[in-house]
A and B are shown apart, each in its own frame.
Chain A
């Protein structure tokens, strides 16, 4: 009986939070237009959310690209089609690995930082203080961070894919001796702007929105103690990673399922 009660309680809590998260998103979106007046805040956040995530994105992208080059070569060479390596590397990155990997890294780097920052502002009464100064923290604090996350994610994913292609090129052409001309021309003729690149961009916009939404909500909704903030940070990383992987499957099925 008790376990049953617990189950019901957990379900209710979950739906309550989900409802709060949705209302929160609406309130944040309502605050977005006022950002036009505060571009400086947005630029600051673009820097701390986007630019500061660049290093990890570039390094990870290069390594993922190199592994793709290596594994791709080993598989393709058995069929004598190692010239298609460029296409294989580019398609895997643009369609799947670029958006997914960079969203996971983004959740770990920028998402957790956003949650911790907003959670600590709540714990130290900074958000309350702003409200008492008649400044809406949703507009002043949350909205610029949210928009910065949504804008940064597709750019980071694009950079990840581009650097990944370089990594694949470095291993495939530089080390394993794939023909350079074939590498690039196969890539150019088989990667479609609309079907592949735009779908990848759509994915990364969706991931960016979801990850940033989870991150700012968890921070804003955190229990205002050091323990509460640390829990919220952990939850951000877990929920946003799972959300990215789950949504990626759905999006892939919708975009590429009919071929």
Chain B
């Protein structure tokens, strides 16, 4: 069933519980090869957890996840590591190794996994850094980089082993408009040029809609909407419309559930 069709990642009935909290309740996802798919939803819907499930860092409570035809939760550690060499992941913080320079960070996966001679490692690192426009920053330490630069270096590191897919965890959060523009362009371009499959987890509607081919909207553990950005923008679902258009009140109320306002104000003295 899997492997023959065009989906690089397939989840069926994916359920994940953390303690007694249900994070995902039987979701189905199909992420097509060569496309940019965005997973969106309000904060705290477990979007990052989804990436960890795909990367095999945690196991689902129930359901299956296939990546490139392999069932991730059932893989042995060795096979999982083999699979991960073909997956890149861009963490929100960049997750650069703070004791290594920019150059050594990008060289890290190459040195760990390929055994290539150092001259070739150098050429590859320079090519990857050139692709993200930071060849000039190769000697800097991670502490000397701005947030946007750190993410670009992390991106260069993620593509160092020429993976088949890249997962982006909130790539746009906390970026100034220029870095944001750079990242949007980079993600789209890399996807085209390297023939990658990209998964973006984000709650930045505008940016994600700009580059995604397909969007899943998650809330409270289920898929509440899916489709192309245009389809979702005019969704029938009031909830999805509220999320995509960012209106403050709607199916998701502005107020956190509370007792009656007037009653609480009047009861102030008894409450003490």
A residues neighboring B (CB under 8 Å):
121, 124-126, 128-136, 140
Given contact pairs A129-B89, A132-B57, A132-B89, A124 touches B81 in the complex (Cβ within 8 A): no
Instruction: Report whether B85 and A129 are in contact in the complex, using a CB–CB cutoff of 8 Å.
Output: no
Q: Which residues of chain B come closer than 8 Å to A124, judged between CB atoms?
A: 93, 95, 98
Partner of B55, one of A130, A132, A140: A132
Main secondary structure of the interface of A (DSSP, over half): helix
Given contact pairs A133-B112, A134-B84, A134-B85, A126 touches B98 in the complex (Cβ within 8 A): yes
Instruction: Report whether A129 and B95 are in contact in the complex, using a CB–CB cutoff of 8 Å.
Output: yes
Instruction: Report whether A128 and B85 are in contact in the complex, using a CB–CB cutoff of 8 Å.
Output: no
Query: What is the CB-to-nearest-CB distance from A126 to chain B, in angstroms, rounded to a whole number?
Result: 5
B82's nearest neighbour on chain A, judged by CB, is: A134
Query: What is the CB-to-nearest-CB distance from B86 to chain A, in angstroms, rounded to a whole number?
Result: 9
Partner of A128, one of B57, B82, B87: B57
Q: Which residues of chain B come closer than 8 Å to A134, judged between CB atoms?
A: 81-82, 84-85, 109, 112-113
Q: Which 5 A-B pairs have the closest CB atoms?
A: A129-B95, A125-B95, A134-B81, A134-B84, A132-B89
Instruction: Report whether A132 and B87 are in contact in the complex, using a CB–CB cutoff of 8 Å.
Output: yes
Choose among A124, A125, A134 the residue with the greatest number of B CB atoms under 10 Å from its CB.
Answer: A134
6 sampled A-B residue pairs with Cβ under 8 A: A124-B95, A125-B92, A128-B57, A132-B88, A134-B85, A134-B109
Instruction: Report whether B109 and A133 are in contact in the complex, using a CB–CB cutoff of 8 Å.
Output: yes
Instruction: Report whether B91 and A129 are in contact in the complex, using a CB–CB cutoff of 8 Å.
Output: yes
Query: What is the CB-to-nearest-CB distance from A224 to chain B, in angstroms, rounded to a whole number?
Result: 11
A125's nearest neighbour on chain B, judged by CB, is: B95
Q: Which residues of chain B come closer than 8 Å to A135, judged between CB atoms?
A: 108-109, 112
B22: CB under 8 A from chain A? no
Q: Which residues of chain B come closer than 8 Å to A126, judged between CB atoms?
A: 95-98
Interface flags for B105-126 (1: CB within 8 Å of A; 0: not) read 0001100110000000000000
Among B19-56, those with CB < 8 Å from A are 55
Bound Cα distance A140, B111 (Å): 12
Choose among B57, B81, B85, B95 the residue with the greatest number of A CB atoms under 10 Å from its CB.
Answer: B95
Q: Which residues of chain B come closer than 8 Å to A128, judged between CB atoms?
A: 57, 91, 95
Bound Cα distance A134, B93 (Å): 19
Bound Cα distance A91, B154 (Å): 55
Instruction: Report whether B57 and A133 are in contact in the complex, using a CB–CB cutoff of 8 Å.
Output: no
Query: What is the CB-to-nearest-CB distance from B143 to chain A, in angstroms, rounded to a whole number?
Result: 11
Bound Cα distance A131, B88 (Å): 11
Among B50-95, those with CB < 8 Å from A are 55, 57, 81-82, 84-85, 87-89, 91-93, 95
A135's nearest neighbour on chain B, judged by CB, is: B112
Bound Cα distance A135, B97 (Å): 13
Bound Cα distance A132, B113 (Å): 13
Bound Cα distance A134, B114 (Å): 12
Bound Cα distance A128, B90 (Å): 11
